[in-house]
Amino acid sequence: MPYPTSGPATWLVTGASHGLGLELVKQLLAGGDNVAATTRSTERLTAALGAADTSRLLPLRVDLTDEKDVGAAVRAVEERFGTVDVVVNNAGYGLLAAVEEVSDAEARELFDVQLFGAWNVLRAVLPGMRARTSGHIINISSILGLTAFPGWGAYCAAKYALEGLAASLAGEVADFGIRVNLVEPGYMRTDFLRPVSLRLPSRVTDGYQGIREMTQAHQGMPGTQLGDPAKAAAAIITVARTGSAPLHQILGSDSYSLATARITALTADVENGRELATTTDIAEAAAS
């Protein structure tokens, strides 16, 4: 079993100082597990934890986009706790803008955190997990890793990339006893839609009035979202402890509805394109 059957498990959680990551750290510490928590500000993390028992906490200020920094952090976790049993790649932020409006620098910065930061963590933890033939990697994606909306093109692109990476990884490491999951939440009552986590483009383009209206609607959404981050954190812990969740674990009734609608639409696209698709085979191969 990837999850320890006796004694505390050691978790590495990225993006841990607010939102879902912070709630997850709180619950893990309350449950007696060891937690290594990465953040851009360890002071903010410890302040947010308040009176929680932090004797099993290793706060780490880590630049996830720096491969050497990530490697040093993982070594620090192994020195403190011995192993890394569960990794939660949670760090990220939103970017709400038309595709045309997103600059090259903004797109690369987003991918550096959402995709390459997670990849740095994977490279750092996988050798130890393979050597132990045990481990669990949970990648926090989004319903926007399965579907897409106008204005979320850059964010969707990064989450779609994470989904492809994780799905390939799951097949590669299964024989080593390592489990991989993608968690795809819908809207949750975190600060994701507030300025701390939701960025806007440095320049806007005339004509995208619909995107401006969507931005305004999302900025007014905090406090009305369906998802409970405490329940989502508990669900992630269940995913790790049971080891029975599907590769794609939806969280939230809104996420479930959007995912099923996407499956229906994609199925219709595939079927509607079937006639043209079958005309591109080499004739001899098709006949055989």
Rounded to whole angstroms, the Cα distance separating 128 from 132 reads 6
- Cβ atoms < 10 Å from Cβ of 154: 25
Asked if 159 is an active-site residue, the reply is yes
Asked if 134 is an active-site residue, the reply is no
**Backbone φ and ψ of 10, nearest 5°:** -110, 120
Could you give the strand order of the β-sheet that contains 34-39, starting from the edge strand earlier in sequence?
Answer: 57-61, 34-39, 10-13, 86-89, 135-140, 178-185, 248-251
Catalytic residue among 26, 134, 159, 255: 159
Among left, alpha and beta (phi > 0; psi -120 to 50; other), residue 83 is: beta
Asked if 141 is an active-site residue, the reply is yes
Catalytic residue among 17, 26, 155, 255: 155
Catalytic residue among 141, 142, 208, 255: 141
Q: Cβ(49)–Cβ(17) under 8 Å?
A: no
Rounded to whole angstroms, the Cα distance separating 56 from 10 reads 9
Active site residues: 141, 155, 159
